[in-house]
């Protein structure tokens, strides 16, 4: 089947260099609308000028995601070998161990594709119909580049429904697995099929190291701990007490197991964070260091106001359980709340707690989560660290 061409009318191209072309930027005639979802297309101006090769989805507001700046570029295993090779080279420059996000979608020139690497085990998340169609060449490219033992497809993100994709988790190669993650010198266990997201959150790596650098001799509350990413590293850094607080029993069981493997102890508490904070506040209990890294409170644009309020409340309550001269990290992984708004809500929460706070660190995800310069909104993670009075 010959490749279809979609047309950008003259003067309609909003952002040159952007990997996204919106449906309202394209000439949406009947022929264009009839192109099957996920097809590889050429994008040209009315004058024939090449805008690139991408994949098309008439059901999505983002009608085309570009893969290459020229037309007629072959999207095959060789293409993915080259792109994944480039992504791998960057990570090998950044890290001395093979544990990282290997591919971060548009940031690595591969929209709709996320791959996490745990040595010879890979997890893949596909978020678009266009990438779903490329699964075979992607798997072939990964075999050529890395010879993985196990490849897990974590294709169960709710957002897939918007692209008309089904939800599933399966092993494309090997067996679904409990694995070890080496990060910041710490040994963690993760469950790649039963766990949340891809089983491990690499995005907080640098923020975990920063909080651990403050932890020696201190008491630490790791709220929304998952399997202990922050808490364990703090314990290894010499914290005198670490409480890991989460509503998930399996996540806390992994945290305990990881603690044993590192020769440290943590106290797991299975509870709702807000209820537990209420209890701690009522009891007057404080921690020298508090980490609050919740699930996304703003899941879509329409949740912005209630979600923003929830961040303010969390910041207030977390500040109230932070001891004198303590440190507090509040994070948001909602890309639907802009960084300024998140910071404003945290500031308001802190003010309501009656504590004086100084912002000492404003960070995002680590460098294995590169951001396309024209898609600043894909920098979803915001982590603010305050020194309290």
List of residues contacting ligand SAH (CB under 6 A): 196, 201, 204, 224-226, 229-230, 246-248, 251, 272-273, 293-295
31 vs 249, which CB is nearer to ligand SAH? 249
- Which residues are within 8 A (CB) of 74 and not within 5 positions of it... i.e. 6 or more apart? none
Instruction: Identify the three-state secondary structure at position 174.
Output: coil
86 vs 213, which CB is nearer to ligand SAH? 213
92 beta partners: none
Please state the closest distance from residue 268 (CB atom) to ligand SAH, in A.
Answer: 12
Decide the pairing of beta strands 357-363 and 382-388: antiparallel
Residue 220 has, within 13 A of its CA and on its CB side, a CA count of 35
Whole-number Å distance between alpha carbons of 284 and 282: 5
Q: Which residue is nearest to ligand SAH (CB)?
A: 229
- Strand segments, DSSP code E, in the chain are 4-8, 20-22, 40-45, 50-56, 62-68, 99-104, 113-118, 121-126, 150-155, 168-173, 178-183, 186-191, 219-223, 241-246, 267-270, 287-292, 322-332, 357-363, 382-388
Q: Rounded to 5 degrees, what are φ and ψ at 98?
A: -80, 55
143 vs 278, which CB is nearer to ligand SAH? 278
110 vs 317, which CB is nearer to ligand SAH? 317
216: exposed, middle or buried (C-beta count within 10 Å: 0-12, 13-18, 19+)?
Answer: exposed
Contact call for residues 243 and 266 (beta carbons, < 8 A): yes
- Active-site annotation, residues: 333
Please state the closest distance from residue 121 (CB atom) to ligand SAH, in A.
Answer: 18
269: exposed, middle or buried (C-beta count within 10 Å: 0-12, 13-18, 19+)?
Answer: middle
Please state the closest distance from residue 247 (CB atom) to ligand SAH, in A.
Answer: 4
185 vs 295, which CB is nearer to ligand SAH? 295
16 DSSP assignment:
T
13 vs 178, which CB is nearer to ligand SAH? 178
Please state the closest distance from residue 357 (CB atom) to ligand SAH, in A.
Answer: 21
Contact call for residues 380 and 351 (beta carbons, < 8 A): no
109 vs 228, which CB is nearer to ligand SAH? 228
Cα 269 to chain centroid, rounded: 25
What share of residues in the chain are helix, strand, coil (percent, to 5)? 35, 30, 35
Please state the closest distance from residue 148 (CB atom) to ligand SAH, in A.
Answer: 23
Contact call for residues 114 and 125 (beta carbons, < 8 A): yes
């Amino acid at each position: 089947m010959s490749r279809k061409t979609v047309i950008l009318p003259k003067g309609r191209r909003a952002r040159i260099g952007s990997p996204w072309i919106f449906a309202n930027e394209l000439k949406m005639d009947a022929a264009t609308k009839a192109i099957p979802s996920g097809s590889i297309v050429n994008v040209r101006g009315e004058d024939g000028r090449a805008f690139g090769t991408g994949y098309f989805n008439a059901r999505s507001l983002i009608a085309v995601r570009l893969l290459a700046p020229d037309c007629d570029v072959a999207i095959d295993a060789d293409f993915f070998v080259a792109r994944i090779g480039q992504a791998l080279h960057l990570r090998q420059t950044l890290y001395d161990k093979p544990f990282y996000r290997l591919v971060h979608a548009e940031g690595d020139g591969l929209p709709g594709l996320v791959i996490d690497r745990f040595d010879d085990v890979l997890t893949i998340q596909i978020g678009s119909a266009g990438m779903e169609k490329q699964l075979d060449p992607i798997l072939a490219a990964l075999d050529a580049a890395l010879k993985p033992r196990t490849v897990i497809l974590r294709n169960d993100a709710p957002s897939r429904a918007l692209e008309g994709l089904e939800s599933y988790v399966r092993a494309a190669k090997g067996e679904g697995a409990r694995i070890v993650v080496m990060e910041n010198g710490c040994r963690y266990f993760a469950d790649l099929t039963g766990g949340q997201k891809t089983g491990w959150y690499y995005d907080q790596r640098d923020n975990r190291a920063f909080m651990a650098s403050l932890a020696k001799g201190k008491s630490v509350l790791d709220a929304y701990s998952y399997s202990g990413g922050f808490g364990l590293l703090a314990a290894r850094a010499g914290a005198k007490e670490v409480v890991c607080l989460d509503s998930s029993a399996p996540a806390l069981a992994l945290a305990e197991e990881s603690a044993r493997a590192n020769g440290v102890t943590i106290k797991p508490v299975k509870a709702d964070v807000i209820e537990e904070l209420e209890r701690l506040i009522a009891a007057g209990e404080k921690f020298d260091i508090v980490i609050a890294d919740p699930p996304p409170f703003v899941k879509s644009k329409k949740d912005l106001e209630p979600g923003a309020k929830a961040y303010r409340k969390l910041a207030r309550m977390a500040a109230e359980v932070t001891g004198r001269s303590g440190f507090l990290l509040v994070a948001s992984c909602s890309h639907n709340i802009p960084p300024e708004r998140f910071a404003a809500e945290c500031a308001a929460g802190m003010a309501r707690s009656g504590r004086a706070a100084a912002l000492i660190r404003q960070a995002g995800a680590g460098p294995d989560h590169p951001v396309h310069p024209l898609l600043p909104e894909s920098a979803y993670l915001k982590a603010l660290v305050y020194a309290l009075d």
